[in-house]
């Protein structure tokens, strides 16, 4: 039997984009463009402080405001959902539960503590200003080093602030460092960032009581996971939940999470028996959309007399923010930084790594392009430059001397690198 051959090849061929004409001619449909009959609008009251105990909450004036249909605080949302459990299936991950609306404490600037549903966004925003609330400020943890040292607790669910701790060793790392002719080491910091896509987050929910069906529009990057979460946490039958993702103006990982707002809107739509819509403003986005990348990476190379790397030691400490953000959690940055490619592109026979993430009173961290890899690669390459200087070699020559040259190659973890993979 002859094996069929395919004449057409994608590599090296011109590939025309099919989506451009519709978008360039203004016929795209983004979530803000969608309006349903009878639709109401949603706005959130967000914390202006990083860590505080809520001492007073009076929503009576907001409930009586013109055009307002519903006002919820943390206790109202908790009747239907205690919160979203965040964890990652890696060694040493300690889960946390992120409430849909803060109840007793707020743990970061931008955490939602009340929600208003009204005839218009204007009416909803005006009603937020009528909510009378007060708080007692608590000690704030803003640096990962301080969180790791103990003292102030950023999240009471984590008694020592650690949401992740793990380690592994492959090969004779201790022996390599004892025998090393030279050891170079450094500490490298990757700053906190926000993806900031052109289009912020948005959700529309429409619940039909007669059939028990929920239609949920979201510009999420993970519609199937969102459907699962709505089913698992809110009790909507899976076969009755439809998640629709319209055109999306960028995501870059930031929209690859399930947020409290996406879980609240189905509950609100069912409660008011009307479609409800929320479009995040830019200020909200910078406070409450997942942040990324912040971590410290300590790294050391054991070098022999010829300038070859004989072992790599890496320790990554991630600043995870206030909670694990499902599904990736605060584990995603430090774990990816050291576990996925502990030796990077270098032919080192032994590797050891530790990884940890701590809670701080900042926006939860999640996925953004280059998750973890960027920080790990940045540390390895900076240290490669330092090693070259210490050895009196050019950075190019040091890399050429140590880079993996023969494939397939098996790294210290037993992972096979095949050429071009």
Please tell me the predicted confidence (pLDDT) of residue 314.
98
CATH assignment of 161-194+303-417, among 3.40.50.300, 1.10.760.10, 3.30.365.10, 3.40.50.720? 3.30.365.10
Q: What share of the chain is helix, strand, coil (3-state, %, to 5)?
A: 25, 30, 45
The pTM (predicted TM-score) of the whole model is: 0.94
Is 37-138+198-250+255-288's fold the same as 161-194+303-417's? no
Q: Helix count (H) and strand count (E) of the chain? A: 12, 21
Task: Looking at the structure, give the CATH architecture of the domain made up of residues 37-138+198-250+255-288.
Answer: Alpha-Beta Complex (3.90)
The parts of the chain modelled with pLDDT lower than 70 are 1-9, 420-421
Locate tokens 């999420």: which residue? 220
Please tell me the predicted confidence (pLDDT) of residue 6.
58
Please tell me the predicted confidence (pLDDT) of residue 421.
53
Please tell me the predicted confidence (pLDDT) of residue 408.
93
From residue 11, give the alpha-carbon distance in Å to each of 3, 14, 190, 344.
21, 8, 35, 27
Please tell me the predicted confidence (pLDDT) of residue 240.
98
- In the chain, what are the domain boundaries? 37-138+198-250+255-288, 161-194+303-417
From residue 403, give the alpha-carbon distance in Å to each of 218, 294, 305.
44, 28, 17
Please tell me the predicted confidence (pLDDT) of residue 108.
99
Listed in sequence order, the residues at least 6 apart from 410 whose beta carbon sits closer than 8 Å to its beta carbon are: 416, 417
Please tell me the predicted confidence (pLDDT) of residue 10.
72
Please tell me the predicted confidence (pLDDT) of residue 5.
58
């Amino acid at each position: 039997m002859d094996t069929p051959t395919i004449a057409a090849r994608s590599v090296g061929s011109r590939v025309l984009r099919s989506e451009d004409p519709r978008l360039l001619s203004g016929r795209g449909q983004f979530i803000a463009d969608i309006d349903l009959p009878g639709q109401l609008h949603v706005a959130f009251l967000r914390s202006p402080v990083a860590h505080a105990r809520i001492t007073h909450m009076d929503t009576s004036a907001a409930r009586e405001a013109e055009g307002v249909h519903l006002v919820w605080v943390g206790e109202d949302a908790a009747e239907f959902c205690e919160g979203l459990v965040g964890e990652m299936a890696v060694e040493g991950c300690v889960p946390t539960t992120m409430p849909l609306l803060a109840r007793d404490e707020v743990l970061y600037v931008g955490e939602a503590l009340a929600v208003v549903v009204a005839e218009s966004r204007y009416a909803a925003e005006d009603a937020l200003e009528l909510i009378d609330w007060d708080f007692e400020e608590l000690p704030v943890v803003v640096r990962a080093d301080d969180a790791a040292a103990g003292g102030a607790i950023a999240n009471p669910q984590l008694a020592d602030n650690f949401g992740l701790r793990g380690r592994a060793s492959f090969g004779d790392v201790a022996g390599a460092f004892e025998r090393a002719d030279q050891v170079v080491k450094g500490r490298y910091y990757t700053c906190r960032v926000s993806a900031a896509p052109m289009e912020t987050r948005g959700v529309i929910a429409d619940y039909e009581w007669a059939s028990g069906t929920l239609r949920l529009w979201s510009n999420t990057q993970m519609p199937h996971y969102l459907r699962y979460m709505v089913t698992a946490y809110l009790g909507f039958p899976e076969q009755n939940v439809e998640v629709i993702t319209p055109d999306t103006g960028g995501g870059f990982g930031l929209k690859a999470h399930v947020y409290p707002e996406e879980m609240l809107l189905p509950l609100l739509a069912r409660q008011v028996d009307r479609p409800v819509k929320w479009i995040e403003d830019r200020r909200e986005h910078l406070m409450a959309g997942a942040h990324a990348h912040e971590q410290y990476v300590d790294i050391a190379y054991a070098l022999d007399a010829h300038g070859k790397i004989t072992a790599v030691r890496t320790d990554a400490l991630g600043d995870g923010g206030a909670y694990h953000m499902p599904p990736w959690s605060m584990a995603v940055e430090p774990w990816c930084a050291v576990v996925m490619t502990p030796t990077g592109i270098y032919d080192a026979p032994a590797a050891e790594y530790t990884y940890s993430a701590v809670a701080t009173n900042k926006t939860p961290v999640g996925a953004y392009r280059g998750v973890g890899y960027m920080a790990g690669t940045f540390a390895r390459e900076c240290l490669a430059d330092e090693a070259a200087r210490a050895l009196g070699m050019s950075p190019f020559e040091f890399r050429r001397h140590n880079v993996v040259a023969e494939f397939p190659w098996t790294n210290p973890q037993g992972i096979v690198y095949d050429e071009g993979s």
